[in-house]
Amino acid sequence: MADQSIQRKLAAILYGDVAGYSRLTGADEVGTHEALRTGLAIITKSIESPGGRVINYAGDAILAEFGSVVECVRTAIEVQEKIATENNDVV
Q: Per-residue pLDDT averaged across 52-69, rounded?
A: 96
**pLDDT interval class at 2 (50, 70, 90):** low
Which pLDDT tens digit goes with each residue over 19-50?
A: 889 998 999 999 999 999 999 999 999 999 99
Average pLDDT, the chain: 92
- Domain interval for residue 63: 12-86
What's the total number of domains in the chain?
1
Q: What is the CATH number of the domain that holds 41?
A: 3.30.70.1230
Is residue 6 included in any domain, yes or no? no
Is residue 2 included in any domain, yes or no? no
Is residue 3 included in any domain, yes or no? no
Going from the C-alpha of 13 to that of each of 6, 81, 82, the distances in angstroms are: 21, 19, 19
Cβ-contact 36, 12 below 8 angstroms: no
Is residue 78 included in any domain, yes or no? yes
